[in-house]
A = this chain, B = another copy of it.
Amino acid sequence: MDNLDFNKHTSKTYNQELEDIRNLLLNMGGMVEKQVQKAMQSLLESNKKMAKKVIKKDLGINAMEVKIDEECTQIIAKRQPAASDLRLIIAVIKSITDLERIGDEAEKIAKNAIYLIDKSFKSDYFSDLENLAKIVANNLTQALNALARLDPDLALKIALEDDRVDDTFEQFNKEMISVMALNPQDLKNLVRLSWSGKALEKIGDHTKNICEYVIYLIKGKDIRHLDLETIKEEYF
């Protein structure tokens, strides 16, 4: 396995370019993380101004994706990277698509928040959504840490955590359907709440994808669609 040392090139500019895209990626990750937190906060605290800010900020995240994509393409064209450098760039190209889509899901949560604030709708089920959001946000932070530290063990741990996200979402969803059946007058609002849960579950999926790219980057093994428990035994 080749060494993952990005300072190994004789060209200082090349080292700097690789370091730059990694930093851009981590910046984008930080922005997206904040969007998810703020979107949930706007919902829980009925803060319409904050929700609107989240929606506006999504444009900046989209622009980041395009910028990083272009930088990566240029490095491939100019530097003809091989082995671990190439894997880094491919992992970045893949990860930013997931980060951009996490941003889209945060925007959806913010839009649902505005809908519910306008209807002055509050529900005990907000706290169930908050619980789901806490698990999802924590996993996202850890996935970004794994990416920053190039830590495949942490990445695998977080990828395995996605089952808990799915279970928690299933539970939330079942509850929501029962509540809807009992309160058809609140249906439109409850649907919005349930969509926000779905958005969180999607964020969990994208987080898992990012973890898989980290493992691919370090281990040089494409583990997508494989059973994670098997991978744990075979590659770790």
Q: How far is the CA of A77 from the CA of B89 in the complex (A)?
A: 12
Asked if A86 is an interface residue, CB under 8 A from chain B, the answer is: yes
Interface-centre pick from A76, A87, A185 (highest chain B CB count, 10 A): A76
Tell me whether A224 and B66 are in contact (CB under 8 A): yes
Any chain B CB within 8 A of the CB of A148?
Answer: no
Residues of chain B within 8 A of A225, CB atoms compared: 59, 62-63, 65-66
Q: Let me know if B224 and A62 touch, CB within 8 A.
A: yes
A222 touching B70 in the complex, CB below 8 Å, given contacts A77-B86, A93-B90, A180-B180 = yes
**Copies of this chain, tallied across the complex:** 2
Name the B residues within 8 Å of A180 (CB-CB). Answer: 180, 184, 187, 191
A63-80 interface (Cβ within 8 A of B): 63, 65-66, 69-70, 73, 76-77, 80
CB neighbours of A82 from chain B (8 A): 77
Structural contact, A83 and B77, CB atoms closer than 8 A: yes
Residue of B nearest to A62 (CB): B225
Distance in angstroms from A27 CB to nearest chain B CB is 18
Q: What's the least CB distance linking A25 to chain B, in Å?
A: 16
In the complex, residue of chain B having the shortest beta-carbon distance to the beta carbon of A180: B187
Q: How far is the CA of A97 from the CA of B95 in the complex (A)?
A: 11
Once the chains bind, are A76 and B86 in contact (CB under 8 Å)?
yes
Contact of A164 with B by CB under 8 A: no
With A63-B225, A180-B180, A181-B188 known, 15 other A-B pairs at CB within 8 A are A65-B225, A69-B90, A73-B86, A73-B90, A76-B76, A90-B93, A94-B97, A177-B187, A177-B188, A177-B191, A180-B184, A180-B187, A180-B191, A181-B185, A182-B184
Give A contacts to B, CB under 8 Å.
59, 62-63, 65-66, 69-70, 73, 76-77, 80-83, 86-87, 90, 93-94, 97, 177, 180-182, 184-185, 187-188, 191, 222, 224-225
